[in-house]
Amino acid sequence: MLRREIKGNTVATTLSATITSSTTPIGVADATTFPVGSVSIPFVITIDRGTASEEKILISGKTGGVSGSLTPLTRGYDGTTAVGHNAGALVDHVLDATTLQDMNTTVYDTKILTWMGL
């Protein structure tokens, strides 16, 4: 299980420029409230949430605040597909299904092993 950074009170932002399915880094209007991230403790964003082009991305870091950028570790994360997005698309920090399932599996497996005396 890869640990993810989750931060409360993160304010959604927008893309500062159009991106392709392989653009890196990803420019955003304001990265100030987003987590710091790292390769060992990344965080997850979603672009175009709730639309047919929704994409989740595992992010390994950010630079800057206003007019900042986010560095993708994995595009098309959590069952989504890497696609292009237009400037102005909504970007938000999210808790993803992969993280929740990893936590569920870890807790469940730990309880079973404890119950078995292992």
CA separation for the pair 93, 77 (Å, rounded): 13
Question: What pLDDT, on a 0 to 100 scale, did the predictor assign at position 30?
Answer: 97
Compute the mean pLDDT over every residue in the chain, rounded to the nearest whole number: 91
CA separation for the pair 70, 47 (Å, rounded): 12
- What global pTM score does this model have? 0.87
Taking CA atoms, 40 is separated from 4, 43, 57, 62, 118, in Å, by 8, 10, 15, 14, 28
pLDDT for 71-115, tens place per residue?
999 999 999 999 999 999 999 999 999 988 888 887 777 666 666
Whether 104 and 95 have beta carbons less than 8 Å apart is answered as no
Residue 118 in this model has a pLDDT that exceeds 70:
no
Percentage of the chain lying above the pLDDT 70 cut: 90
- List phi, psi (to 5°) of 39: -65, -35
Please tell me whether the peptide bond between 25 and the residue prior to it is cis, using omega within 30 degrees of 0. yes
